[in-house]
Copies of this chain bind each other. A is one copy, B any other.
């Protein structure tokens, strides 16, 4: 079967709703560690897929999945050890206050539940979300996504400008956080009070931003002062991704009210979670009931537990920190060499290269050029992505097991592709 034939069958069976990477989509048939393989055996270094956090087809995770699937898979209305031990193990990675877990199947479900909790508890329905943020694909989460269909004026929603210190160099923690005040005011002007501020502290969709010191705490304080809760969406920033800490919020020394986790917690298996305080979970249970049929099933819990063990046993937090620093040094060298790199931004194993037409005007590189770059990188056997409001930011976000050698290969590929532009 040629790729064209497969592609035609795909269009026939799946319709036009499915998008794909690369003008000539590739047929991926095998994954192993940081590697993906196409049908011809061509090997790609995966610098894009965060979901397979502990590597493609991690043998210990696959074993946990297979063993538990052969033993029992059912819901949480019976007792089962797996969900309890996973919750205990997961909670131990959080500040003591965040001691209560609720398991769901996807990051969308986690964010949707977190917002149900916030609206129920605060009695408000206003939501602040940063411009270009992605928190999922349910009706409500999709409504927060600026790239989706515009469903008209949303009385309950306002966006705030993210803290982009490259494009707003004069910005301070205070000036960026003032965007929260403005958002609260715009909600108030519509007669809406704040239920929650949704915060992805990697600012993934904005091209991985590092806010100024003190910014995150100001956001928390302003949100609380307005009667809202802070929901940290750690699908991107969590699970050691940013290095030095397990969670994005720890990097900025805050403790959110509710944390949401997504598919990296199952290395691709659909398992996700809400982690919150006992007080919030209890208040929510008094006001409302929530049940997720197979959220927290024994198989998903065995998988999520194996992922935590892999991170600990292989010291992947240390790896992310060290390889991330190695990557930063290499990226800085490229920054010196290519003047269409406007900024190198990120942390740990999550980096964005804000590419520009001109370093002075900072005009974003036109997105067809970045599409060309990611295609050339793929032809060099390296997979990277694109992101940002102008789709001009080259995104590097490999599995957590990425080595310095892998980083060197990725850097060399960027160098080669950039030098030929």
Contact = CB atoms under 8 A, between A and B. Distances in A.
A255 B15 CA distance: 19
A398 to B, nearest CB: 13
Interface string A296-325: 110110000000000000000000000000
A140 B142 contact: no
Given A80-B29, A285-B16, A73 B52 contact: yes
Contacts of A51: 74-75, 293-294
A270 B270 contact: yes
Contacts of A360: none
A148 B291 CA distance: 10
Interface stretch (A106-114, A159-167, A221-229): A106-114
A207 B7 CA distance: 44
The 6 lowest CB-CB distance pairs between A and B, nearest first, are A13-B87, A15-B281, A66-B66, A149-B288, A15-B100, A270-B270
Contacts of A16: 281-282, 285
A397 interface: no
Name the residue among A31, A76, A108 with the largest chain B CB count within 10 angstroms: A108
Number of this chain's copies in the complex: 2
A282 B15 contact: yes
A93 interface: no
A81 interface: yes
Contact of A79 (B6, B101, B115): B6
Given A51-B294, A71-B30, A294-B263, A139 B138 contact: yes
Contacts of A148: 288-290
Interface stretch (A17-25, A243-251, A341-349, A404-412): A17-25
A300 B1 CA distance: 22
Q: Could you say which of A17, A87, A291 has the most chain B C-beta atoms within 10 Å of its C-beta? A: A17
B79 A7 contact: yes
Contacts of A133: none
Contacts of A175: none
A120 B152 CA distance: 12
Contact of A109 (B20, B62, B106, B285): B106
Interface string A267-298: 11111000000100110110111111110110
Contact of A142 (B83, B116, B284): B116
A403 interface: no
Contacts of A56: 72-74
B139 A31 contact: no
A197 interface: no
A26 interface: yes
A138 B111 CA distance: 9
B73 A13 contact: no
Nearest to A87: B13
A414 interface: no
Interface in A6-65: 6-7, 9-10, 13-21, 25-31, 36, 49, 51-52, 56-57, 59, 62, 65
A9 to B, nearest CB: 5
A188 interface: no
Contacts of A7: 79
A270 B294 contact: yes
A192 interface: no
B120 A72 contact: no
A192 to B, nearest CB: 14
A24 B10 CA distance: 50
Interface in A102-143: 102, 105-109, 112-113, 115-116, 119-120, 137-140, 142
A112 to B, nearest CB: 5
A248 to B, nearest CB: 18
A329 interface: no
Nearest to A26: B78
Contact of A71 (B57, B106, B297): B57
A243 to B, nearest CB: 23
